[in-house]
Each structure stands twice: as structure tokens, then as C-alpha cells.
Amino acid sequence: MRASQLDRFRADHIGFIFQQFNLLPFLSLLDNVCLPCRFSAKRRARAIEEFGSVEQGAEALLARLGLAEASLYQKDVAALSVGQQQRVSAARAILGAPEIIIADEPTSALDTESRDQFLALLLSQCELSGSTLIFVSHDSSLEHHFSQRAQLMPSANGGYSL
């Protein structure tokens, strides 16, 4: 695929959750969640099919992830706690039901209790939207949550391989 086709494919089929959340600080909570659906027509269409509109979808997902207070939605994300921010970024990845969700150490900034809570929420939402979750972590104690496990080994060229 060409670079632009890759871009399109990624926008349509993959949602990301990062270790550092990567929310845009100048957008409201709701705007951040809706962002991927602005760039991908497919995810927008799926969100509308599932929830009626992108905004309603965002609100529904946030509510499911435990951010039900509507007063929060128009706030800047900077006003949220770490745990709340990570849930917002999860909602952003899930909205529009991409086939694959890649989570890159999303729990490393969370304490044990909120880690387990977050993971449970994330897994249940992925199941609801039918997305495959690829979860990257150093924490082997989370292993029992997942159906498959792949271990990366340092390779000769300086990267990692299976």
C-alpha cells in the first residue's frame, strides 16, 4: 500500500491508546473523543449506525467507561485526573468500532486498583464493539486477561521480534 492508503487504512480500522493518553489539551473532552470520527468516514458511519450520532456515541461510551457526568464533557481534558484521561483516550479509540485497537502500555501510569478497573472496562467495551485488542505491556500479571500472548525478543538489528 502507498503511504496515503496506509493512512486511510489506519484511520478506518485501527484505534490507538497510548501510555501518555495523547489527548489534545485545547479540545473539550467530547471533542477529543469524537476526533477519529472526523477523519474517518467509515468510523463516523459506524458510530452513527450504532448510537444515532457521533456525539451521542461519545457520550454513551464515556458513560459506560464511568464518566457519566455531562458537566465534564465540555471541560478541557487538562482538568481531568490521570485515570479519567486514560478512560477518555479509551473512548476515543473505541468510538466508531475499529476492527483493531492497539493499546501501548495504557495502564503503566495507573495504580493497581484503577489498572484492574480500567482493564476490565476496556475489555468489556472491546467485546461490545467487536474489536480485537492488541495490548502491549511489561506487566506479566495482566496475562490472564488475554486469550493470546506473544513475547518479543530483542533482535540482532536492534529492534524486537517475535
Partner 1 sequence: MTLLHLAWKSFLNRKGTLLMMLLSISMSVVLLLGVDIIRQQAKEGFSSTVSSTDLIVGARSGQINLLLYSVFHIGNATNNIRWKSYEAISQDASVKWSIPLSLGDSHRGFRVLGTSSAYFQHYRYGAKQRLSFSQGQAFDGLFDVVIGSEVAKQLGYRLGSSVVIAHGMGNASLMKHDDKPFKVVGILQATGTPVDKTLIVSLAAIEAIHVDWKSGVQLPGSKVTPEQVLNMDLEPKQITAFMLGLNSRLSTFHLQRKINQYRNEPLMAILPGLALQELWGMFSFVEKTLFAISALVVVSGVLGLLALLLSSLHERRREMAILRSVGARPIHILTLLILESLLVTVLSVALGVGVLYLVMLYAGTLIQDQFGVRLVVQSLNLWQWQLIAMVVAAGALAGLVPGYRAYRYSLADGMSIKL
Q: Measured from the CB of residue 143, what is the shortest distance to partner 1 in angstroms?
A: 26
Nearer Cβ to partner 1, position 31 or 59?
A: 31
**Cβ 7 to partner 1 shortest distance, Å:** 5
b/e sequence 86-98, b meaning 16+ C-beta within 10 Å: bbbbbbbbbbbbb
Q: Please, what is the minimum distance in Å from the beta carbon of residue 38 to partner 1?
A: 6
Q: Which is nearer to partner 1, 3 or 149 (CB)?
A: 3
For helices 54-64 and 112-129, what crossing angle results, to 10°?
A: 140
Residues lying near partner 1 in the complex (CB under 8 A) are found at 3-4, 7-8, 10-12, 16, 18, 20, 22-27, 31, 34-36, 38-40, 43, 92
Phi, psi angle pair for 160, to nearest 5°: -125, 150
**Residue 25: CA atoms inside 13 Å, Cβ hemisphere, count?**
3
Nearer to partner 1, 2 or 149 (CB): 2
Pairing status of strand 100-104 against strand 14-17: parallel
